[in-house]
Structure 1
């Protein structure tokens, strides 16, 4: 896997991703300390509200990435967003009131909500080979997990010699380095599709594909399962270790580290697994394991059992999360890729926005054993829905019918566009009024402007 890193533009983009991730991890630590400085006893409330703003920005703003994509070169868009993120985080050391913190956090995450799905949609364009793209997804998952493991350690070391506000400056530098790395590579131009589509059509293009494709409807329920299990881990680990088991706070990070180690193990194994098993089997198996393992929490495991449990859950979650990019890429046209990745980013974070407060509320209002049981039940029900929604067929080569129609959009002369020209239409891709004859045929089926509904 690691011999793959030096190849082509991906090396620069992967380096940019790692540097930006570690910078963001430092800001997460610094933000908690800033909240305490401004609000002291109410720091938890301040931090919770700031994180809620982050999720709201992700859910509401990210679909705009698909709208902007046809009108702005990818490299310019990514670099601009990196510079804006650097500017926002650089202002954080100078705030003196909470409303300023909330405003900057919302602006920072608005930029991230546009940057991340655009970045994710770029990778399959520079790595058209499925094997290469699979390795890239594993490396990306590995980067996220290593950041979660190492950023707190790095922040702790830096805080022994620096004040916490310097961490914001280091994050700003990380975003600038990320921008420079992106500038250093030539990114393929996005397939613009039809740029005179209405704003609403472009805004909803990704969600239309998502909710009209059976495998992606299953992915939506898997997002809910991941969020239910992950929220229980993230929100209630500290409560379980400190209150339920009565152990020292120094043991809390080890529990999170156990989950990260499990996730890393799965990320490394995914390329091999995908050579032997289908995406459907791997992802559904991971989801079944997640829900079943979380149920064990109702038995009030001791600390060492909890470490094993969190490690196995981290492994299971990664089995579901790592192949998602492959699933998205295989269920859309190239021109719809930015919109679909943006829709996934928004919808998956909507699940987290629901499950974070739900896990916290259940743990506070009921016993932690009850919270374990109910969040596990939610994950299991979501998994059963995914099993029912995701077809078993191994190919999307489907027979389907087209009725005759006359319309206009930007197109190449592919199997759906065989028609007469008068000479004024210009080079491909071009846009002009053209006729489609009624036809029944078979090919790889995805939802697009010529295929608006699944054939069964």
Structure 2
């Protein structure tokens, strides 16, 4: 796969480094404020009112984004960005400083609401500034660093809050004064951020033109697209449901930790463990389960997070709860990174922004409704004492009920997402998962196929080099003593040659996208019946130049038909025959098309946008099922590409001499590499 160039040191760019420092401080302050404000709200109330006070803090933090988000995004970019960010940080410093000085719950709510409104102006100004401070080829790296800073500062803020709580617990006896110390530190971070941005003279003054639709319009527009796409529908159900369950945890965490006998320090630890788990899930799980279907893993991760939440709700031990919270975070991290990647690969550029806006809008609504409902659910359940044994008493209170309800939601949406997105139907999950843990691919046996050979397919866009590499691989395999059959699509049978003439002739006009898809499927059905399956049944190695994935990428991505429907037609046409390994040669469309002196056929003559959609289609297929694909950067030298193909193919090759012949000769042939 084409790799993004790693030009050294985006942080070596001084203007961006200063902005990154300000972003890190701002993110740190935002996370610290959640802990400090909920702790202070709890200390300003007593008894069951504490649930409502904490829930109120979270509601006023989420509400401005729903009400003023589109307006702030449109207005903020009409002012000088540097001035906007400096003023916003000074206002946030002043408001955070005022909360402990006033010391009243009503002002805490008002100040928190105003802080979030000001933040809405800061964020779009920052987002519009980054592309002007780094070269285009380093923009992706800069965005990655910004994302890491945003979420990576959460566990740092949680650890800081816990340390401040321990220190203030020794110095101050009053819990309110303990929370105040964290708010003072929090205010200072925004003052330092303002000073850092003020010194950043490189921020451009030009005005942008931004049009931001309302939350309602984003949801309505997005739903039309999501409702017709199974993958994005599954991602939507999973992500929104997971955030709703997460909102239940956030809304009740402070009260639950207190019920378990923990103070503010323990609250900070539990909060931080969520993000530690997220980091572990994001980085380790895709590497450990690199051969497991990403679409299956997405739903399973949410189900796993829900099961962890069940244990959190019923096991009333603070240390175990903290460890289980990390497990909960790991499930959320896995789901988030897979969802983020699949949307980026599966959804085309013209719809990707709309899809993200739709998801973010739904997530905000789900979080707000959940956080607002949590105190009432907890209050309605009340406190219950369940006796067991002679002297045992189990406490089941409102927080336990809320956590269990969140767990049920997570498990249900995980199951729904799994059902929508499962791309390996008919393959047992347990065997598939165990094979992935062993670093292998689970391939079900095909009854009645006799001694089956190996099926290899080459895929890629126009000019990727498939035909050349397929020929070179066949030569290499024959040198090893294998029976090799090379073939191609369309046109490897007498009927297929006629279909090829229709499909690729530039004089063929008026052919609908559906008719084109069915003609390719008809050629493929004859190809499998006449060439591929007989060769496999006699134990040969079949190397084909194009197969089913070409239809999924060209007609699904290029023609923008429904991939699921194309897959079903081709599954029926081929009898479910799937390659043991699909090799995708990935090249930018301009590079591949530039290898032709002139467009030679009807498909090659399609516009550049068509071929870019095809390329994204191939990449999405490989990302969803990495266990059966090898994606290679097709711009590399021919010898390097062949070497990578040989290394992967060698691992799945059978003995070139059948077992029956070995039984007769009792000798093992010498095979040269």
TM-score normalised by L of structure 2: 0.48
Residue 610 of structure 2: SS of its match in structure 1? strand
Q: Paired residue for 1:18? A: 24
CA distance in 1, matches of 2:350, 2:87: 23
Residues 78-89 of structure 1 aligned to structure 2 (within 5 Å): 78-89=85-96
**Offset of residue 153 of structure 1:** 1.9
Match for residue 278 of structure 2 among 260, 263, 276: 263
Q: Paired residue for 2:410? A: 379
**Offset of residue 107 of structure 1:** 0.8
For the structure 1 residues 233 and 103, does the alpha-carbon distance in structure 2 shift closer, same or farther, using more than 3 Å as the test? closer
Does the aligned pair in 2 maintain the 1:292–1:376 contact within 8 Å?
yes
**Offset of residue 206 of structure 1:** 4.6
Residues 386-425 of structure 1 aligned to structure 2 (within 5 Å): 386-387=417-418, 397-400=557-560
> Based on CA coordinates, which of the two structures has the bigger radius of gyration?
2
Match for residue 153 of structure 1 among 154, 163, 167: 163
Q: Paired residue for 2:65? A: 58
Does the aligned pair in 2 maintain the 1:138–1:267 contact within 8 Å?
no
CA distance in 1, matches of 2:402, 2:117: 32
- Tell me the matched-pair count: 401
Does the aligned pair in 2 maintain the 1:66–1:203 contact within 8 Å?
no
CA distance in 2, matches of 1:335, 1:176: 39
**Offset of residue 19 of structure 1:** 1.6
CA distance in 2, matches of 1:14, 1:270: 28
Does the aligned pair in 1 maintain the 2:89–2:193 contact within 8 Å?
yes
CA distance in 2, matches of 1:382, 1:145: 27
CA distance in 1, matches of 2:31, 2:284: 25
Bigger shift: residues 123-132 or 359-368: 123-132
**Offset of residue 169 of structure 1:** 4.5
For the structure 1 residues 38 and 203, does the alpha-carbon distance in structure 2 shift closer, same or farther, using more than 3 Å as the test? closer
For the structure 1 residues 98 and 360, does the alpha-carbon distance in structure 2 shift closer, same or farther, using more than 3 Å as the test? closer
**Offset of residue 111 of structure 1:** 1.8
Bigger shift: residues 358-367 or 388-397: 388-397
Does the aligned pair in 1 maintain the 2:31–2:154 contact within 8 Å?
no
Residue 559 of structure 2: SS of its match in structure 1? strand
CA distance in 2, matches of 1:298, 1:170: 33
Does the aligned pair in 1 maintain the 2:240–2:363 contact within 8 Å?
yes
Q: Paired residue for 1:177? A: 192
**Offset of residue 263 of structure 1:** 2.4
Residues 210-225 of structure 1 aligned to structure 2 (within 5 Å): 210-211=222-223, 212-213=225-226, 214=229, 217-225=233-241
Structure 2 residue 472 is matched with structure 1 residue 312: no
Structure 2 residue 216 is matched with structure 1 residue 48: no
Gap runs ≥5 in structure 1: 402-414, 416-438, 446-456
Q: Cα RMSD over matched residues?
A: 4.8
**Offset of residue 57 of structure 1:** 1.6
CA distance in 2, matches of 1:251, 1:70: 41
Residue 71 of structure 1: SS of its match in structure 2? coil
- Greater RCO (Cα-Cα under 8 Å, separation 6 or more): 1
Q: Paired residue for 2:651? A: none
Residues 316-335 of structure 1 aligned to structure 2 (within 5 Å): 316-322=331-337
Q: Paired residue for 1:286? A: 301
CA distance in 2, matches of 1:315, 1:124: 31
Note the alpha carbon deviations across 1:148-191, whole angstroms, 9 max, x for none.
23333235436766966565454333223223434527468999
CA distance in 2, matches of 1:384, 1:32: 33
Q: Paired residue for 1:234? A: 250
Structure 2 residue 358 is matched with structure 1 residue 348: no
Match for residue 116 of structure 2 among 75, 89, 109: 109
CA distance in 2, matches of 1:334, 1:11: 31
**Offset of residue 378 of structure 1:** 1.2
CA distance in 2, matches of 1:129, 1:270: 27
**Offset of residue 217 of structure 1:** 4.8
CA distance in 1, matches of 2:254, 2:184: 29
For the structure 1 residues 188 and 156, does the alpha-carbon distance in structure 2 shift closer, same or farther, using more than 3 Å as the test? farther
Q: Paired residue for 1:6? A: 11
Structure 2 residue 78 is matched with structure 1 residue 71: yes
Q: Paired residue for 2:610? A: 442
Residues 93-108 of structure 1 aligned to structure 2 (within 5 Å): 93-95=100-102, 98-108=105-115
Does the aligned pair in 1 maintain the 2:219–2:358 contact within 8 Å?
yes
